[in-house]
Amino acid sequence: MKAIRRFTVRTVLPEQLQPLHELALNLRWSWHPETRELFRSVDPEVWSAVGEDPVRLLGEVPAARLSALAADRRFLRRLGDLADDLRDYLAGPRWYQSAPAPGDGTGPLPAAIAYFSPEYGIAAAMPQYSGGLGILAGDHLKAASDLGVPLVGVGLFYRHGYFRQSLSRDGWQQERYPLLDPDELAVSLLREPDGTPCRVDLALPGGRTLAAQIWKAQVGRVPLLLLDSDIEPNTAAEREVTDRLYGGGSEHRLLQEMLLGIGGVRAVRTYGRLTGHPVPEVFHTNEGHAGFLGVERISELVGAGLDFAAALEAVRAGTLFTTHTPVPAGIDRFDRELVARHFSGDAALPGVPVDQVLALGVESWPGGDPKLFNMAAMGLRLAQRANGVSTLHGEVSRGMFSGLWPGFDAAEVPITSITNGVHAPTWIDPAVVRLAAGLLGQEQAEDAMATGEARRWTGLERIGNGEIWELRRALRSQLVDEARQRLRASWRQRGAGDAELGWVDAALDPDVLTIGFARRVPSYKRLTLMLRDPVRLRSLLLHPTRPVQIVVAGKAHPADDGGKRLIQQLVRFADDPEIRHRIVFLPDYDMAMATHLYPGCDVWLNNPLRPLEACGTSGMKAALNGCLNLSVLDGWWDEWYDGRNGWAIPTADGVSSTLDPESPEAERRDDIESAALYDLIEHQVAARFYDRAADGLPHAWIAMVRHTLVTLGPKVLAGRMVREYVERLYAPAALAQRELAGSDHLGARELAGWKARIRDGWPAVRVEHVETEGLSEAQELGSTLTLRVQVSLGALEPGDVEVQVVSGRVDESDGISDAVALTLKPAGGPDLDGRHRYEGSLELCRTGPFGYTVRVLPAHQLLASPAELGLAALPAETPGMNAGLLR
């Protein structure tokens, strides 16, 4: 029989144990080992049975045990100390509170930043994530908390979260969506002063309303607001809007993203009204899913008296857009008519005409589809600042989105990059922390993990070879034990009996080189590249003196049958009795598994199609534990691989650029790269791992581990990442927002009027004549050219523009690379024909083929980039940047 109603009965804690609730409801426990150990000591068996979840632990621990703890003076002292420690953590000054002010130092750092993401990976006990985007968002919040950055997180509360994965007997992925009970999670309902739940309402077509309540999770110092549509006022269809992560059809996804963006802004306003939390000066949208937050903020400002254009400028100034997508196919795109229906008529946002909404997402560039609404295009148009998530990804993004800035080379597209990082206290195994603390001291070790500054890691180079090797074997053994438990549970789910599973106790070996591969399973990540030559792989796994073992995990999207086939192919290979002790697939990859997998592997494998891995943070987590990376030069590895921290898998550049895995070119490319992978593993990786000195230690391998910890440790941290966001993006955005918002948004009104005047007058702007003095066929290094340029500005003024000479190395088609721009100075008023003259000197500072051109750009002190308007006037007689050539 099934229950007709479900609810949770909470344990009433004795008064002496009340601080346990305080500790359980702040998710800092998920990265604070001492607090986790306290909860484990409450009842180790229950702690393990509830998946190390403090909220569930307190709901299931026997009353007799609680009574005993209430009389245990030693336990109460520990509890009191940890409760005091949490309060100090929440209230005391941290990095942000003493960080230098931005710009000229006269303005403060942002009072608050609102951070929007469709998913958050905070802890395994809060399954509101599917993969890297959510884990990154969770790490961003945790690092912000450790640094004292006043972030407010915004997301959706998914009643079923993401799916749990198991395997059928033949290795096919199975999904199930267990119902999540908020009363069993570390969340609390946001309520009005009279006790009623807070609500946000969105108008929908046909007079319908999408209502949502707001759950708050406390992530250290950072509140995380999660909107939940599964409430009584909604019809069945609206209640299911937040049913599960990345599920449903196109309209379902659109409603989720409207609720996240529009409803999320309203949730932030509600939270501020109730708590007095500072009003966010900066809004950060993590990928395009939350892009509608900008439309809602425009509506707010129009309601306060601004026109649409001025409101758009005010919103853009304080908005940051982070893209994680290296291919157009990864961007959410909706039918234009579907979006129009949800932003017009009785569903329209006040003060925001539907045509203005549609213009924000239009694919206006050559090759774009005018029938689609592009969420990334909207995100970029609504944000004055944007970034990719690694240096290479920033370059890829500038090329991918260059159509939004016509007239500019991809290198000048205003998308910067901040390389992702990972939250060290979450991902470093406690044994690694203990080893570091023994050398650096506990306080410095904790500070080093939080801030990501190289100077704080000084001292790790003193770790002894024996200590490193002993640690690595202990972590490998820990992974072997965990893998065997999971492997046995998986086979039981697949229908195997205990009599068939005796072999599991010998699966994997704590003394064998262990390679890990775990991630989502889209085709570009190439889960099965390792299977291209099964005979070669078998020989590596079963090598008589230098064997290799591989631990694999990952989930395919429920709708991705291609990804499921890849998993099935690998599982069937791993099921072979001859090799199943050397290669295993562990289903249901999540944060709980990852905390064993990253530390326990010796090598972390990553072989995506370059450059489709935007960052690839799993390898960062592995590196923090002394695991070496074996990866294609993509994402973060492309910028930080140095030859001593792992191995770079060669790529077959030029063989194939297709993304179709079935094409002949792709087949040849995969054959070449898999062969290179096998060679690396056999002749370099395994050879170095098993090269032992007389003392039994692989000293060359250990040197690479030590180098990885010392050099990559400070770089891969989320603390470093968040500090970069504060200094390079949040602080400048806050300054820009203040300049436009002051004096009743006078700056926003002026900037909007100026942009309108520039756009109207730009067709008349021309470079009429370029005169060069000192030019000869053979120029000497260090010589100088004098340039005189005549420009027609039409109705615009000289103060509206900047005239530049752009120079650099030229290729065979006269395209300029490594360009350097130099501003030319006005030289007198307009001539009789209204032309303005500009002059300047160009120093020839490099040898070889050299070229230059001149251009006119809009110029205003409130522009974040000269390319912001996408307008540039070049010499009419030479298309592109090739007005002058020096060879």
Among 350-359, 639-648, 833-842, which stretch is predicted with the lowest mean pLDDT?
A: 833-842
Mean pLDDT score of the chain, rounded to an integer?
Answer: 93
Task: Encode pLDDT of 543-552 as tens digits.
Answer: 999 999 999 9
Identify residue 124 by its one-letter amino acid code.
Answer: A
**Parallel, antiparallel, or unpaired for β 801-810 and 816-823?**
antiparallel
pLDDT at residue 831 in the model:
87
Nearest one of 371, 380, 360, 365 to 334, comparing CA atoms: 371
pLDDT at residue 581 in the model:
97
**Average of pLDDT values for 438-465?**
85
Task: Encode pLDDT of 630-664 as tens digits.
Answer: 999 999 999 999 999 999 999 987 665 555 666 77
pLDDT at residue 884 in the model:
39
pLDDT at residue 444 in the model:
85
pLDDT over 90, % of the chain: 82
**Average of pLDDT values for 778-797?**
86
**Average of pLDDT values for 158-175?**
94
pLDDT at 885 over 60: no
**Average of pLDDT values for 770-789?**
79
**Average of pLDDT values for 482-508?**
95
How many H helices and E strands in the chain?
31, 28
**Parallel, antiparallel, or unpaired for β 199-203 and 209-219?**
antiparallel
Instruction: Tell me if residue 784 falls in helix, strand or coil.
Output: strand
Task: Encode pLDDT of 513-535 as tens digits.
Answer: 999 999 989 888 999 999 999 99
Read off the pTM.
Answer: 0.95
pLDDT at 553 over 90: yes
Check whether the bond before 798 is cis (ω within 30° of 0).
no
pLDDT at 536 over 70: yes
Instruction: Tell me if residue 328 falls in helix, strand or coil.
Output: helix
pLDDT at residue 878 in the model:
46
**Average of pLDDT values for 583-600?**
96
**Average of pLDDT values for 485-500?**
95
Task: Encode pLDDT of 699-749 as tens digits.
Answer: 999 999 999 999 999 999 999 999 999 999 999 999 999 999 988 999 999
pLDDT at residue 883 in the model:
37
**Average of pLDDT values for 191-220?**
97
> For 545-584, b where at least 16 C-beta lie within 10 A, e where not — what string?
ebbbbbbbbbbbbbebeebbbbbbebbebbbeeebbbbbb
pLDDT at 465 over 60: yes
pLDDT at 11 over 90: no
Tokens of 336: 């234009």
pLDDT at 110 over 90: yes
CA 475 to CA 279: how far, in whole Å?
A: 45
pLDDT at 362 over 70: yes
pLDDT at residue 6 in the model:
62
Identify residue 848 by its one-letter amino acid code.
Answer: G
Sorting pLDDT into bands at 50, 70 and 90, what band is 815? confident
pLDDT at residue 107 in the model:
77
Sorting pLDDT into bands at 50, 70 and 90, what band is 9? low
pLDDT at residue 783 in the model:
80
CA 351-260-195 angle, to 5 degrees, is 95
**Average of pLDDT values for 792-821?**
89
Task: Encode pLDDT of 260-293 as tens digits.
Answer: 999 999 999 999 999 999 999 999 999 999 999 9
Sorting pLDDT into bands at 50, 70 and 90, what band is 776? low
- Chain-centroid distance of CA 815 in Å reads 34
Task: Encode pLDDT of 231-249 as tens digits.
Answer: 999 999 999 999 999 888 8
pLDDT at 886 over 60: no
Contact between 817 and 881 under an 8 Å Cβ cutoff? The reply is no
CA 114 to CA 222: how far, in whole Å?
A: 10
pLDDT at residue 879 in the model:
41
Sorting pLDDT into bands at 50, 70 and 90, what band is 881? very low
Sorting pLDDT into bands at 50, 70 and 90, what band is 457? confident
Among 117-121, 493-497, 703-707, 846-850, which stretch is predicted with the lowest mean pLDDT?
A: 846-850
First to last CA, the chain: 86
pLDDT at 834 over 90: no
pLDDT at 4 over 90: no
**Average of pLDDT values for 570-578?**
97
Task: Encode pLDDT of 282-336 as tens digits.
Answer: 999 999 999 999 999 999 999 999 999 999 999 999 999 999 998 888 899 999 9
**Average of pLDDT values for 172-185?**
93
Contact between 869 and 858 under an 8 Å Cβ cutoff? The reply is yes
Task: Encode pLDDT of 48-99 as tens digits.
Answer: 999 999 999 999 999 999 999 999 999 999 999 999 999 999 999 999 999 9
CA 447 to CA 717: how far, in whole Å?
A: 12
Contacts 24+ apart (CB under 8 A), 830-838: 831/790, 833/792, 834/792, 834/793, 835/768, 835/790, 835/791, 835/792, 836/790, 836/791, 836/792, 836/793, 836/798, 837/788, 837/789, 837/790, 837/791, 838/788, 838/789, 838/790, 838/791, 838/803
Sorting pLDDT into bands at 50, 70 and 90, what band is 833? confident
